[in-house]
Structure 1
């Protein structure tokens, strides 16, 4: 599996995806043949420590649709207090920052927010989302995995006994791929994933899945949908 480890790279890309340490890369999602755009950014220690401290207090997490104004009012009420007010504020500020970026990028007024504490994979099978686009960001633990479009095939070569001769794995979408082609975001990487409801670009929906969560470890996932 190939993790995105290009914090010092200016730009990384393949045919169907883009990755850069420059946040402007997120705008590349509007390109017709791009299904995944990833802003690689460094970990924010205050935010990480906050989620370590409050993981058990997060309960079922946080879900709701908020305008930017209501987000700033409601998120502080819904997130538990940590050991440090500075850590909680840093966590709030980052959710607001990503929400602000999303509403600006897609010219919308509200965001669907989902912050989920996980002790196991939420969506362990490769799938596509039935939405136009989604922002994903992992605050704690490993990031989301996805398959570049150019790395999957729907008609692999088979031998006379029907066995796959290319060493490929088949997902539930009927696509075959090599395990080595799976890409993975790092914690704090911000990814935009096209869904199959992106008008006119349905065939470029991002094929992705939740990473495995090692027993005894935790993961905190944030997803934002433009509304």
Structure 2
């Protein structure tokens, strides 16, 4: 695995672009968002919508979902769009789907590979994604705040040989007070399900 040197700004995309190399299926950049972003994330899970989702360019997405954030949670939106911009550059995709979701139950329990090209994941709160390259004999897990880039089956020249399986961390195994995640997912606009959810979704 390689690290991506982006924290709150796009300072160097070269290392992140390494995810495109043949034989590389996952890239993890450990980071801890700043205090303003973390405070905004905590406020969002108590005051904001359960799901915020939109498709389009970065500018389109900002315009469409800005109303789902307040002055107190705007730092979360800004950070999410920084990561979306990073994804757009690395994936070479001008049209995106950005999804920010509060998760309180187990989801995607089984290790799998997504039917997408490239996916970015970041758990602002709660545990990050788990992955395995040996059918579960060893399991890695991203830390809270880490940025993860994962190749899916639709990535050009993807093969089973180099595929890395991933899953959502099982929240039911955690203490009740820790069974919550705030997860950012960024895909190409035509990712599975993306064509059917309309231009913007804000769900309480």
Give 2:124's aligned residue.
139
Tell me, what secondary structure is at the counterpart of 2:127?
A: coil
What is the TM-score with the length of structure 1 in the denominator?
0.72
Q: Distance in 2 between matches of 1:132 and 1:106?
A: 8
The CA RMSD over aligned residues, in Å, is 1.8
Q: Does 1:37 align with 2:27?
A: yes
Does structure 2 conserve the Cα–Cα contact (< 8 Å) formed by 1:114 and 1:223?
yes
Give 1:65's aligned residue.
55
Tell me, what secondary structure is at the counterpart of 2:143?
A: coil
Q: Distance in 2 between matches of 1:127 and 1:192?
A: 15
Q: CA deviation at 1:57?
A: 3.2
Tell me, what secondary structure is at the counterpart of 2:112?
A: coil
Give 1:107's aligned residue.
92
Give 2:164's aligned residue.
206
Q: Distance in 1 between matches of 2:155 and 2:50?
A: 29
Tell me, what secondary structure is at the counterpart of 1:19?
A: coil
Q: Distance in 2 between matches of 1:99 and 1:68?
A: 7
Q: Matches of residues 7-22 of structure 1 in structure 2 within 5 Å?
A: 18-20=1-3, 22=5
Q: CA deviation at 1:119?
A: 1.1
Paired residues in the alignment total 177
Q: Distance in 2 between matches of 1:126 and 1:58?
A: 30
Q: Which runs of 4+ in 1 moved over 3 A?
A: 56-60
Q: CA deviation at 1:120?
A: 1.7
Does structure 2 conserve the Cα–Cα contact (< 8 Å) formed by 1:193 and 1:205?
no
Q: 5+ residue gaps in structure 2?
A: 7-12, 190-204
Q: Does 1:197 align with 2:154?
A: yes
What is the TM-score with the length of structure 2 in the denominator?
0.79
